[in-house]
Amino acid sequence: MIGAPVFIDRIGKAYGTQTAVGGVTLDIAAGEFLSILGPSGSGKTTLLTMIAGFESPSAGRIVIGGRDVTAVSPDRRNIGMVFQRYALFPHLTVAENIAFPLKMRGVRKDLRADRVGRALDLVQLPQYAKRYPHELSGGQQQRVAVARAIVFEPPVLLMDEPLGALDKKLRESMQIEIKQLQRRLGATVVYVTHDQEEALTMSDRIAVMAKGQLAQLGTPANLYCNPQSAFVADFIGKMNFLTGEFLGETADSRTIRLGDDVVIDTPGAAHGFEGSAKAGDRVRLALRPERLGLTARGAGGKNALPGRIETSVFAGAFDLHLVRADFGSGEIIQVQIPADGNRTAFAMGTLVDVIAERDGLRLFAVAEA
């Protein structure tokens, strides 16, 4: 199987006066795993159904493998599709379900059997060929749905929240399996999800959607470390936001005042907040919980945020401390400390300083909230 490039050229979809997708352009490389990530109503599923051909775009075009398929019916686009609801035929065996796309394409029976066998091997279900869907677990049914989508060797696979119906542990296991399978096959995958952890785990790149628009496109690491808007910063991973006053800047730093007397030094324009700001402007300071530290009140030094412990929770790999800020409007700051066996206990009400790593801070305009 050889993946095909997918070019989405200024695609748009409107329902009357309501715009579901507005002028989105994506250039997806052959063999790439691209996730379309966004909250409900962001337009991600509408975008996928237009690539599949189930919806006709109101504007723009879709090119798959160099061929303009904008007006081509779904069955002639040569793409595989995996849905959240497995859509298996209950009266057909596993092998018959997987063979169905081949049968519809007129593939000879002997060749169908060979391809079905190979597809079952790829999804690690060779011994389940004669079973029926109701005899399988949710994870096994999803593997059968994947096998059915890849059996005719499509160059492009579209996946619409395929793991949404599975429990957390099985979902995490299937994420790795699908990614490994995609690498072995070399197929181009366009994967829709609202689960940001899923997108971070599986994707080569992520397209973040918001209100029908492309909010940001980049690698998982780039989106996580360098979000270009408050929306992306908040949607990708956990994030604390504090509102403050912009005091000024030098060549490599910007200074923010939080409340009456807490001053924070942040990186310059090369690290977020690409727009201009002048002294007195209101800004939002974004802080990742895992880039924060805790120490006793008064021992924090520079970039210390005074507060008091509201509660602490042991979460296995880390301790989560909720700190009530002793400045501004008293926001809750989440601080995530790795559980390394040398845990420091902080009783409720303990006065502390939250230490903010300078390079872990980002600034956004208040208007972006």
- Structural domains for the chain: 6-233 (3.40.50.300), 238-368 (2.40.50.140)
Question: Mean pLDDT across the stretch 245-259?
Answer: 86
Going by the DSSP 8-state scheme, the letter that residue 257 receives in this structure is E
pLDDT of residue 339: 80
φ/ψ (deg, to 5) at 20: -90, -40
pLDDT of residue 343: 64
Share of residues in the chain with pLDDT > 90 (%):
60
- Those residues whose C-beta lies under 8 Å from the C-beta of residue 317, and which sit 6 or more positions away, are 338, 339
Structure tokens at 53: 């051909």
Whether residue 196 has pLDDT greater than 50:
yes
φ/ψ (deg, to 5) at 240: -95, 145
Residue pLDDT, tens place only, 177-192: 889 889 988 999 999 9
pLDDT of residue 293: 92
Lowest mean pLDDT among 11-20, 29-38, 39-48, 272-281: 272-281
Question: Mean pLDDT across the stretch 36-61?
Answer: 95
In angstroms, rounded to a whole number, what is the distance separating the alpha carbons of residues 51 and 45?
10
HSE toward the beta carbon, residue 304, CA cutoff 13 A: 15
Distances (CA, A) of 255 to 119, 239, 252, 281, 330: 58, 20, 10, 12, 20
Whether residue 166 has pLDDT greater than 70:
yes
In angstroms, rounded to a whole number, what is the distance separating the alpha carbons of residues 251 and 156?
46
Give how far the C-alpha of residue 308 lies from the chain's centroid of Cα atoms, to the nearest Å: 33
Question: Mean pLDDT across the stretch 98-121?
Answer: 91
Question: Mean pLDDT across the stretch 267-281?
Answer: 67
Sheet (strand 332-338) strand order: 292-296, 351-356, 304-314, 318-325, 332-338
Going by the DSSP 8-state scheme, the letter that residue 357 receives in this structure is P
Going by the DSSP 8-state scheme, the letter that residue 367 receives in this structure is G
| Token pair 């995490």: residue | 172
Structure tokens at 59: 């504007």
Torsion sign, CA atoms 116, 120, 126, 131: negative
| Band of pLDDT at residue 369, cut at 50, 70 and 90 | very low
Sheet (strand 18-28) strand order: 18-28, 6-15, 59-64, 67-68
| 237 Ramachandran zone, left/alpha/beta (phi>0; psi -120 to 50) | left
HSE toward the beta carbon, residue 210, CA cutoff 13 A: 14
Read off the pTM: 0.88
First to last CA, the chain: 44
